[in-house]
Amino acid sequence: MTDNIYRALRESHEAQRSLCRRLLRAKDPETRQALFDELRMELAAHAAAEERFLYAPILMDDMGLEPSRHALAEHHRIDECVEALARLDVKGEAWLTQARKLSEEVHHHLREEEKKFFQVSGKILSATDKARLAARYRRDHARMIRTLAAG
Q: Is 44 in contact with 78 (CB distance < 8 Å)?
A: no
pLDDT of residue 102: 98
Element (H, E) at 132: helix 127-150
Which one-letter DSSP state was computed for residue 92?
Answer: S
pLDDT of residue 1: 61
pLDDT of residue 148: 94
Domain assignments of the chain as residue spans, ordered by start = 5-150
CA atoms of 130 and 78, how far apart (whole Å)? 26
CA atoms of 128 and 146, how far apart (whole Å)? 28
Quickly list H helices, 26-61: 29-50, 56-59
In three-state secondary structure terms, 28 is: coil
In three-state secondary structure terms, 145 is: helix
Distances (CA, A) of 89 to 42, 85, 106, 116: 21, 8, 21, 36
pLDDT of residue 90: 96
pLDDT by residue, tens only, the chain of 151 residues: 679 999 999 999 999 999 999 999 999 999 999 999 999 999 999 999 999 999 999 999 999 999 999 999 999 999 999 999 999 999 999 999 999 999 999 999 999 999 999 999 999 999 999 999 999 999 999 999 999 999 8
Write the single-letter amino acid at 109: H
pLDDT of residue 151: 82
Which one-letter DSSP state was computed for residue 125?
Answer: S
- Topology of domain 5-150, CATH: Four Helix Bundle (Hemerythrin (Met), subunit A) (1.20.120)
